[in-house]
Structure 1
Amino acid sequence: MVIRSRRLSKDNTYYALKQKIIDSELEPNQPVHEEKLAALLGVSRTPLREAIQRLENENFLVRQPNGRLRVATVTIKEVEEIFLIRSMLEGYIARSAARNATDKDIHNLTTIVKKIKQSFQLGDNQNFVSYGFEFHDYLSEISQLTTFEKVLNQLRDHSLRYCRFVSMHGDWSKQADEGHDLIFQMIAEKNEEGAEQAMRAHILSSLSTALKRIEGVEDNEEA
């Protein structure tokens, strides 16, 4: 029981710290100190250090030459790579989802798409991102492309971090909302080619928005 509690503490610390980075509560390039993080999370130094090591391995935290830690920056190069990979993998996922989707899946997707649209209309950017990822995750599940899903899972949280960053610095375009509608329509119609093309166009559009937002933030910092 002691061992299990320690494991839970270690994992909870990891997920809590990672979420703060994804949500920009710990901002890009922000220096981080173990003692302050321990106080913030209410944990001891041992599980914190293990969490830090995992997040270093995943490139959410960066160890500088002087040994100090900082939150990884957001970069144009990284966001381009992540979204381009996503556009290719998720295009095939959407194609497969269109082939495999059952009536129950269509019903569930209808509910998710409604939540996406409602959050967009309310200007609730963070929920718009959350429901958008719920939509993408559901398509991955019904696609039955398990290797694709495993690869995407390695990129998921970095992609989510960029989408949260975009939401913090401006609104999403109507095109982002309509992209989900079109993908869903193609899947509901069992249009595999259309679903793949709609998904790729949707992710590349999100990439364009992310690049503009990062460039805008960089310009403001330099001004």
Structure 2
Amino acid sequence: MSMMQNRCLTKDIAYSQIKQKITYGELKPDQVVREEQLSKMLRISRTPLRHAVQMLEMEEFLVRQPNGRLKVASITKEEVEEIFMIRSMLEGNIANKAAKTATKHDIALLTEMLEKLRQSFRLGYIQEFVSYGNEFHDYLAEISGLKTSVKLLSMIKDHANRYCHFVSMYGKWNDQADEEHHLILQSIKSKDGASAERAMKNHILSSLNDVIKRLEDKERSEKGRV
């Protein structure tokens, strides 16, 4: 492997690892981060790290402050509302199309995914619950065949996941999530695209309410400690 190829690979690995640490809350919102600390943490040189940081700045996971220092992007109600509203429209359209294209095999796989989702929720395995939820949504996107909608969705997916993991860190998901997924699947089984779209939009907006509630709870808690 050439030096250039090795540098590109290292840059991509650093990018993925830092984004994961932000998404899962290991690097917390508004936390100041220094390139030398990231370099030591990831055991990589500064050059590929700078490329990774630039990519994360472009995607607004990291923010460059006026003094030149880096910090992890804030979590705000304004951003989450915008992200989840866009998500509801894109995923609603995806669910509509998936209801018309899903085969018996697809439905069997979706049913299996929801069973894993249900069990993880009952057992309190929150991170697994989020992962299985992503698996369900990703599979719907795959079978929909809507390449443009899926591409647009991928642009906000990591930000949406960050908020989903935020809920897991500061509370738990509403019990309605299980029923919401069930309604989506039932609509797909019935090949009722309009119902699948409506159920998906309601599910995404319900998730939005969960995130906003956690944000407000966290704000009240922080004010109470002042």
TM more than 0.5: yes
Partner of residue 142, structure 1: 143
Partner of residue 123, structure 2: 122
Q: How many Å separate the matches in 1 of 2:172 and 2:19?
A: 24
Partner of residue 98, structure 1: 99
Q: Alpha-carbon deviation of 1:4?
A: 2.1
Q: Deviations over 1:185-207 (max 9, x none)?
A: 11111111111111011001000
- Structure 1 unmatched ranges of 5 or more: none
Q: How many Å separate the matches in 1 of 2:67 and 2:190?
A: 57
Q: How many Å separate the matches in 1 of 2:177 and 2:111?
A: 17
Partner of residue 195, structure 2: 194
Matches within 5 A, 1:69-218: 69-218=70-219
Matches within 5 A, 1:2-13: 2=2, 3-13=4-14
Return the TM-score normalized by structure 2. Answer: 0.97
Provide the secondary structure at the position in 2 that maps to 1:62: strand
Return the TM-score normalized by structure 1. Answer: 0.98
Partner of residue 223, structure 2: 222
Q: How many Å separate the matches in 2 of 1:34 and 1:126?
A: 29
Partner of residue 67, structure 2: 66
Q: Which runs of 4+ in 1 moved over 4 A?
A: none
Q: Deviations over 1:124-144 (max 9, x none)?
A: 111111110111111111111
- 1:43 maps to amino acid: I
Q: How many Å separate the matches in 1 of 2:43 and 2:189?
A: 47
Q: Alpha-carbon deviation of 1:46?
A: 0.9
Root-mean-square deviation (CA, aligned residues, Å) is 0.8
Aligned length: 223
Q: How many Å separate the matches in 2 of 1:112 and 1:21?
A: 26
Q: How many Å separate the matches in 1 of 2:178 and 2:212?
A: 18
- 2:145 maps to amino acid: Q
- 1:26 maps to amino acid: L
- Structure 2 unmatched ranges of 5 or more: none
